[in-house]
Amino acid sequence: MNRFLRLSPHCSLKRLEKPYIYDIKNDELYEIDDKAEDFIKRCDGVPPLNPPFTKGGRGGLSDEEFVNFCLKENLLEYADKPHSKIRNPKSEIQNPKSPIPSLRYLELQLTTRCNLSCRHCYLGKPKNIELNFDSVRKILKEFEDVQGLRLIISGGEPMLYSSFWEFNNILPDYKFRKVLLTSGWFLGKEEALKLNVNEVQVSLDGLEDGHDTLRGKGSFKRAITAMKYVKEAGTDLSAATMVHQYNLNDFQKMAELLKSYNVREWGIDVPLQTGNLKSAKDFIVSPEKGGEYLKFAYGGSYHGGSEGYVCGRHICTIMPSGKVCKCGFYEDRPLGNIEEGLRNCWERNYHMPLKDLQCHDCIYIEECQGGCRFRAETPTSPDPVMCALYKPRDRSKKD
C-alpha cells in the first residue's frame, strides 16, 4: 500500500549555519546533513515514499532509520492518501542560507503604548510610538527569509498596538515560533482563545504585594487570571520576573505557584538602573544580592548565546521607531532602520568574542557568556550580577 510522507505541519526546514528541522511547537532544533535535507524536500505528501529505502547515510543512519526517528519525534507524518493541500518544504527556504551568524531570535517591539508605569521599566514613561502595520508585514517576511526561529512580540504592552488583532490574524502565515510578552492586563478568556501564538510569557514580579508595588494595584490578579486563561486555551505558558527589594521573600512561593501552572520557562533578571528605575532607587537591589535569585530560573533563554561569543550572537530588537538594535538597551546605537532591510542591518552587528573580555579566563565563562554587556561597567568588564550567581560555587567547593 502506498504511503505518503510529509514534513509535519508544526515543523519547518531551516538553513542556518547548517541545515536543521525546526519543531516550532516544541521549540526544538534538529541538526541534519545535506542528504537528509534533500530527502526532506521530497517529503511533500504528494508522491508515495515507501520502503525499501536506500542505505545512504543520514548522519550515519539509513533512510529507514532516519524516517523512523523523524516519525517518532513527530517531525514527519504518514498518510494513506496524497495530501490535497501541498506544503512544499522547498518553498520554505527563500535564500540558500541565513546570514552568518544566523539571526534566530527577533524581538519585535510593536508599540511604546502601555497602561502601566512600572517602577523598573527601562523604556521610561509610556509614549505613543508604534510600527506601521505595513512595516510589520515586511519585517515578518524578512525574518522568515533569513530563516528565523522565534519571534518575540513585545512593547510597551503589545496588546495595545492599534493593529494588534490584524497582526495576530496573519501570524499563522509564517513558519517560526511566536511568543507574546505581556503583563496579562488585557488577556481575558476570549482573547486567549483568539491568539495565534505558540507561547505567552506573563510578567510576574512577586506575590500580590510585591508585584503590585512594582507594577500598580490590581496588576497581580490580572496576571494570574491571564495565566489561567492561557493554560485553558492550550497555549504554552512562561513567566518573567525582575528581582527587586519588595519581592525578595516571595521566590519560594512563586516557584510553587508557577509549578502549579506547569510553566515551561521562568526567566529571572535583575533590572538595569536606567529608565524609571533611576527615580525609584528604593526598588534597587545590589548585583551581589540580586544574583542569588537567578538560581530559581529554569528553561531556555532569549539571549541567543553561541559558543565563544558574548550575549546577542543570534538575536536583535526592532524598536517601535523602526530602529534595528542589538537589544532594546542600545536604542541610541542602532544598527540601522528597518527600511534598510533586516538582513542589511543585522550584518552590521559586531559580535564580541569571549576571549576579548577581561574575565575570559574564568572557569564559568562559557556558562555565563559574559552576562549582560550593557550592565557591565565597560564593554569588556565582567557582569557583576552573573559573577554573584557563579562565584558562590567557588566558595562551596572550598567548604
pLDDT per residue as tens digits for the range 318-346: 999 999 999 988 999 999 999 999 999 99
- pLDDT at site 72: 95
Are residues 119 and 163 in contact, defined by beta-carbon separation less than 8 angstroms? no
- pLDDT at site 196: 98
- pLDDT at site 94: 46
- pLDDT at site 4: 86
Domain boundary among 38, 68, 92: 92
Question: In this predicted structure, which of 51-55, 145-149, 181-185, 195-199 has the lowest mean pLDDT?
Answer: 51-55
301 and 324 housed in the same domain? yes
236 and 253 housed in the same domain? yes
278 and 135 housed in the same domain? yes
Domain assignment of residue 271, given as a range: 105-352
Count of structural domains, the chain: 3
Burial category of 187 from C-beta neighbours within 10 Å (exposed 0-12, middle 13-18, buried 19 and up): buried
292 and 360 housed in the same domain? no
Q: Which residues of 324-347 are buried (b: 16+ CB within 10 A; e: fewer)?
A: bbbbbbbbeebbbbbeebbebbbe
Which of the 8 DSSP states describes residue 283? G
Kindly list the distances between the CA atom of residue 335 and the CA atoms of 178, 275, 314, 317, in Å, as whole numbers in the listed order: 24, 21, 14, 10
CA distance 180 to 193: 14
CA distance 80 to 324: 47
Q: Work out the average pLDDT over 380-385.
A: 94
110 and 86 housed in the same domain? no
Residue 98 in domain? no
- pLDDT at site 29: 95
Q: Work out the average pLDDT over 100-105.
A: 95
Q: Work out the average pLDDT over 232-249.
A: 97
242 and 325 housed in the same domain? yes
- pLDDT at site 47: 74
- pLDDT at site 398: 46
Per-residue pLDDT of 18-60, as tens digits, reads: 999 999 999 999 999 998 998 888 888 887 765 544 444 444 5
For residue 307, how many C-alpha atoms fall within 13 Å in the half-sphere facing its CB? Answer: 0
What residue has cell string 495565534? 196
pTM strictly above 0.85: yes
pLDDT tops 70 at residue 187:
yes
Band of pLDDT at residue 160, cut at 50, 70 and 90: very high
The full DSSP string for 191-250 is HHHH---SEEEEE--SSHHHHHHHH-TTHHHHHHHHHHHHHHTT-EEEEEEE--TTSTT-
199 and 303 housed in the same domain? yes
Burial category of 180 from C-beta neighbours within 10 Å (exposed 0-12, middle 13-18, buried 19 and up): buried
233 and 371 housed in the same domain? no
Q: Work out the average pLDDT over 82-100.
A: 61
Q: Amino acid identity, residue 73?
A: E
The C-alpha cell of 208 is what?
Answer: 500580590
Kindly report the length of the chain.
399
333 and 257 housed in the same domain? yes
Residue 265 sits at φ, ψ, to 5 deg, of: -150, 140
Are residues 241 and 254 in contact, defined by beta-carbon separation less than 8 angstroms? yes
3-state secondary structure of 337: strand
CA distance 54 to 37: 15
CA distance 308 to 235: 34
Nearest residue to 17 via CA among 90, 89, 96: 96
Within 10 angstroms of residue 266's Cβ, the number of other Cβ atoms is 20
CA distance 49 to 51: 7
Are residues 73 and 65 in contact, defined by beta-carbon separation less than 8 angstroms? no
Domain boundary among 92, 114, 141: 92
Per-residue pLDDT of 207-218, as tens digits, reads: 999 999 999 999
170 or 59, greater pLDDT: 170
CA distance 294 to 299: 12
Residue 358 sits at φ, ψ, to 5 deg, of: -65, -30
CA distance 108 to 178: 10
252 and 373 housed in the same domain? no
Band of pLDDT at residue 91, cut at 50, 70 and 90: very low
379 and 251 housed in the same domain? no
291 and 373 housed in the same domain? no
